[in-house]
A and B are shown apart, each in its own frame.
Chain A
Amino acid sequence: MNIFSNTLRKKIYFLSILSSIFFIGIAYIAYNNLINLSKSFDDFAQINSQAQSYIELTKDVEKLKGNVQSFTYSGYKGSAQEAKKLYEKITNFFVNTQLRKETEVDKSLLAIELHLKKYFDTFKEVERQKKVQKDLKKLKRDLHEKLIDKLYKYSQTTYKKSLILKNINDEIFKAEKYSLYYFDTMDTDYIKQYKEVISKTKKNLSKLKNKEVDVEKVYQLKELSNILKQYSKIFLKTVQQVRSYTFLINVVMSAELYEVLYYANIIHNTSLSIIEKIENNVDTNISDSTKIFLLLGVLFFIFMLTASLIITNSIVNPITLLTESFKKLTKGETDFKILEYSVNDEIGDLSTAAVVFQEKNKELQKYQTELEKLVISRTEELTKAQNHLIESEKMASLGSLVAGISHEINTPVGLSLTGVSYINEITNNIIKDVENNNLKQSSFKKYLEDVRVMSETMEKSLNDATELIKSFKQISVDQHAEQIRDFKLHNYVEDVLLSLKNNIKHTHIDITNNIPIELTLHSYPGIFSQIFTNLIMNSIVHAFDEDQKGNIYIEAITNDNNLMLTYIDNGKGMDDNTIKHIFDPFFTTKMGQGGSGLGMYIIYNLITQKLNGNIVCQSKITQETKFIITIPMESKDV
């Protein structure tokens, strides 16, 4: 079967494909959305972790600054080492971070990297210079000590307790004091004072030298002067070194640090705003996603609704309507509009078929009506025929009854006629004899005997005939009058038996009338005549063979106002098929043997319709046949 030959299927397939496309589309949008959402979460996570790393960076920078400052002011080596560790950590961060110059943050990070490097490189120089400074200061101290030492030695050699010497000594100590004050305060006044003191010392030394004559002592003084010059130069050198060193810290490093912190602040603020933006982005994405999913849900709902409507309209509704239509059609209704579904598919075909079916139904109904009419008329005819036949049967039964009666009567009448004829004949003979005077006493005695016997026979016969006629009269009157009257059933059945005497006498059947004598019915006696006549005749004809001995029992019992008559013969019985058809008109098992097949049909009708009762036949093959008649005791005029 070609799957495309079926248009409804095509529609379904088409709808399926369409909805598949739609659902794929929805799924795609949903998937995309989820991907975007997940991506924005990823971005958020990434940015967040990035931001964390930046915050970490700024913290490390602060720590680095702290350590650097700690070292530069206290000289604590631990701080310098800590600073180096932190710088290495920060450098690693930059090495591991891919920086492009595109974003604000990246530019700032690059700037931080640059300035931090300068900062730290300067710090390394500062670290070196700190040692240099320390060495210079030590040198200065050493020179100072040397001065004092040499001065002392000189003072030991001279016996003069010179005031100048004392002054020189004081001045040297002052100079050292001022140098230390300067290093403590960085106040240039102390340099000035130092220089003044040195100058004084130089002058005093000069004075001493001029006064001195001892070559050795002059040499000593020269040496002192030299050392003093060195001392002064070293101090001034140290001053410059300290200034430059301070400059490195206070000017170079602080400026670089400022830039680092400036950009760190930018990063901090930018990171915050980026985080905010990405959070908003995530929120927007979530709300957008929610909206999209809601929209998709709504679309899905609309689609399903539309699909349902389409299916309902194009498939379900028509089918439902058609089903209704078919239901009505099966019920036989024809006066309703079948909605023709004019689409070129199976449902359309079905609706067309329904319409056709409806038409055919209408036709059928028409035929049915016609048929009914026909049946009615035929039934009428048939009823007429039946009635006619019943009448005929009645006539026939009457006829047979008449025939029977006439036969019955014929016999005694015939006998009587024969007797009369014989008597006539023998009388004529006697007359003749008389006339001929040929009368013999023996002949006359024979004649008298014959006449006596004949007369007895004729009297009996004529009596029989009179009785028969009496009975027949009774029956026939009842048969034709059909009026309800009271009668004793027992006696009535006796009358019937009498009327059937001729038929019965040739058989070996014994009929027992066990109807209670006092049982009185208020009914149509004629019918009972017909009933029993038929039943007995049937038993005679069908139940027993010609010489067969048999019994017929007729019983009756009453219950409330109902009479139950039981007629049993112990004859051949009937098979089930015969029992089934026994009340059918024209049904007979002795076709062509005198039975019209209407007898049982007639009594059935009379019992059921006229007497408003029921007759049931039961039979056992070879054993018996039973008829049970139940009728109300009082018949109503039908």
Chain B
Amino acid sequence: MNSLTRRDFLKKSTTLAAGAAITSLSFPAILHAKNKYPTIKVVGTHVTLQEDIRKKAQEDLGINIEFYPGGSAEVILKAITDPSSFDIYEQWSNSIRVLHQADAIQPLDIKRLKYWDEINSLSKTGKISPNASFGAGDVPNKILYVQKDGSLGPKATNQISFMPYVHNVDSFGYNSAVIPRGVPYETESWAWLLDKRYHGRVALVNEPTIGIFDAALAVEAKGLMKFKDIGDMSKKEIDQLFKILIDYKQKGHFRGVWSSVPHSAELMATNQVDIESMFSPAVSTLNGMGVPCVYAAPKEGYRAWHGVMCLSSESKDERKDAAYEYMNWWLSGWAGAFIARQGYYISNPERARKHMSSYEWDYWYAGKSAIKDLRGTDGKVSVRKGDLRNGGSYVKRFENIAVWNTVMPNYDYTVNKWNEFVTKRA
């Protein structure tokens, strides 16, 4: 009852907004347009909007699925300004607050999620295991449950703002041909990003809600400053942090920032950087290219992120039903196994396990060494026989979280500072 009222209410207000917002939105590239009925439109990033997934889903579900992948900023902007243009929104947890505030999304009914119970405790409690450290910043459970008053919080309800699915811990990648391999959790450190030995050959991810944490962790690990709460930096702390960063940038320590996964891979492949913020697909890509990129397991802990699958506030009827089908399909096992080969984890791993070979599972999830070469989703060998996943098992890795990707309260302030950092030339 509540949800219906809420939905109607949301619908009215957004209709007004939508009506007033006269925009001819041009979407990021449309991958496919078939005229099969029904059609759902999925907007998101290249991370999860992969053609193989779309084809398989279409095949399995018998519905028409249109993907609209784009950069994070574009995607979020479109979602905010025109929720009717999509059904499913796939992105990261750090956009939940924004979407929620803009009424771009509608809460999901747990009852309609087939595999809700299989979803592990990470997203529900913030901890993968009792041993786990509680990372700073937007731990997923803090923004998961839609409370009675409409706000988001950790208290469990039947309504969630997003379906937990893809997640991972990120750190930085380094070229082990140039930088000697470290020991996970012991010698590998965020401080390496500011190591003068790698002067001019460092890059950060161009995302204030992500890259700032890589930088902050590095600065803290190097002992240059200490944060009270790294997930909620004060303006003063932000000033101090950026003073340090801009100084490094001016001296030419950073090659620059990267705005897409292919760009990050290219930077290392073309020998412009030896160490950089990295997302795991780039690690696979680089290894496939013959660049021995190692995804570090820093002793300070990882920067974690959680993928979100949201339902547009404008999605209804058949499209909404189809959307739920699609969401459920994602947790049905195949997709989980697929993305596991790219180094991502799924919220219900055991179901994905059924679609993986034992040696794949051992390597990707169990933290064991590969007993044979493993191929990535592009068909190229991304893991060599004998390789060990840096950082160990799924559980071990998620037990070592330093911070979650977060839209901090001083986010706007950081954006300006971030801009200063990005544009500063050596």
Assess whether B80 is interfacial by the CB under 8 Å rule. yes
Q: Which residues of A contact B418 (CB under 8 A)?
A: 250-251
Contact A132 B415 (CB under 8 A): no
Contact B102 A240 (CB under 8 A): yes
Q: Which residues of A contact B140 (CB under 8 A)?
A: none
Contact B73 A244 (CB under 8 A): yes
Assess whether B336 is interfacial by the CB under 8 Å rule. no
Interface residues of A in 220-249 (CB under 8 A from B): 229-230, 233-234, 236-237, 239-241, 243-248
Q: Which residues of B contact A245 (CB under 8 A)?
A: 77
Interface stretch of the complex, out of A252-260, A412-420, A562-570 = A252-260
Q: From the candidates B20, B98, B257, name the one contacting A255 in the complex (CB within 8 A).
A: B257
Q: How far is the CA of A118 from the CA of B206 in the complex (A)?
A: 14
Contact A125 B23 (CB under 8 A): no
Contact A256 B259 (CB under 8 A): yes
Q: Which residues of A contact B16 (CB under 8 A)?
A: 230
Contact A188 B410 (CB under 8 A): yes
Assess whether A135 is interfacial by the CB under 8 Å rule. yes
Nearest B residue (CB) for A245: B77
Q: Which residues of A contact B297 (CB under 8 A)?
A: none
- As a 0/1 sequence over residues 13 to 24 of chain B, the CB contacts with chain A under 8 angstroms (1 = contact) are 100110011111
Interface residues of A in 96-154 (CB under 8 A from B): 107, 118, 122, 125, 128-129, 131-132, 135-136, 139
- As a 0/1 sequence over residues 215 to 258 of chain B, the CB contacts with chain A under 8 angstroms (1 = contact) are 00000000000000000000000000000000000000000111
Contact A128 B206 (CB under 8 A): no
Task: Determine the main DSSP class of A at the interface with B.
Answer: helix
Contact A251 B422 (CB under 8 A): yes
Contact A244 B425 (CB under 8 A): no
Contact B80 A244 (CB under 8 A): yes
Interface centre among A131, A187, A240, A257 (most CB of B within 10 A): A240
Nearest A residue (CB) for B418: A251
Assess whether A13 is interfacial by the CB under 8 Å rule. no
Contact B73 A188 (CB under 8 A): no
Interface residues on A, range: 35 or more
Q: Which residues of B contact A519 (CB under 8 A)?
A: none
Assess whether B168 is interfacial by the CB under 8 Å rule. no
Q: From the candidates A128, A246, A252, name the one contacting B412 in the complex (CB within 8 A).
A: A246
Q: Which residues of A contact B103 (CB under 8 A)?
A: 233, 237
Contact B423 A236 (CB under 8 A): no
- As a 0/1 sequence over residues 78 to 113 of chain B, the CB contacts with chain A under 8 angstroms (1 = contact) are 001100000000000000001001110000000000
Assess whether B307 is interfacial by the CB under 8 Å rule. no
Q: Which residues of B contact A236 (CB under 8 A)?
A: 101-102
Contact B256 A243 (CB under 8 A): no
Contact B17 A233 (CB under 8 A): yes
Assess whether A521 is interfacial by the CB under 8 Å rule. no
B261 to chain A, nearest CB (A): 14
Q: How far is the CA of A261 from the CA of B424 in the complex (A)?
A: 11
Assess whether A29 is interfacial by the CB under 8 Å rule. no
Q: Which residues of A contact B419 (CB under 8 A)?
A: 250-251, 254
Q: Which residues of B contact A301 (CB under 8 A)?
A: none
Q: From the candidates A107, A246, A252, name the one contacting B71 in the complex (CB within 8 A).
A: A252
Contact A251 B412 (CB under 8 A): no
Contact A243 B23 (CB under 8 A): no
Q: From the candidates A107, A122, A128, A250, name the one contacting B416 in the complex (CB within 8 A).
A: A250
Contact B256 A188 (CB under 8 A): no
Nearest A residue (CB) for B423: A254
A373 to chain B, nearest CB (A): 111
Q: From the candidates B13, B412, B413, B422, name the one contacting A230 in the complex (CB within 8 A).
A: B13
Nearest A residue (CB) for B417: A250
Q: How far is the CA of A131 from the CA of B26 in the complex (A)?
A: 14
Contact B415 A136 (CB under 8 A): no
Assess whether B76 is interfacial by the CB under 8 Å rule. yes
Q: From the candidates B23, B259, B413, name the one contacting A132 in the complex (CB within 8 A).
A: B23
Contact B17 A251 (CB under 8 A): no
Q: Which residues of A contact B422 (CB under 8 A)?
A: 250-251, 254-255, 258
Contact B257 A243 (CB under 8 A): no
Nearest A residue (CB) for B208: A251
Q: Chain B interface (Cβ within 8 Å of chain A)?
A: 13, 16-17, 20-26, 71, 73-74, 76-77, 80-81, 98, 101-103, 206-208, 256-259, 270, 409-413, 415-416, 418-419, 422-423, 425
Sort A-B residue pairs by CB-CB distance and give the 10 closest, nearest first: A250-B419, A244-B77, A255-B206, A240-B102, A254-B422, A139-B20, A240-B80, A247-B73, A186-B412, A237-B102
Given contacts A237-B80, A240-B98, A244-B98, 18 further A-B contacts (CB under 8 A): A125-B74, A128-B23, A139-B20, A186-B416, A187-B412, A188-B409, A188-B410, A233-B13, A240-B101, A241-B80, A250-B418, A250-B419, A250-B422, A251-B73, A251-B207, A254-B422, A255-B259, A257-B423
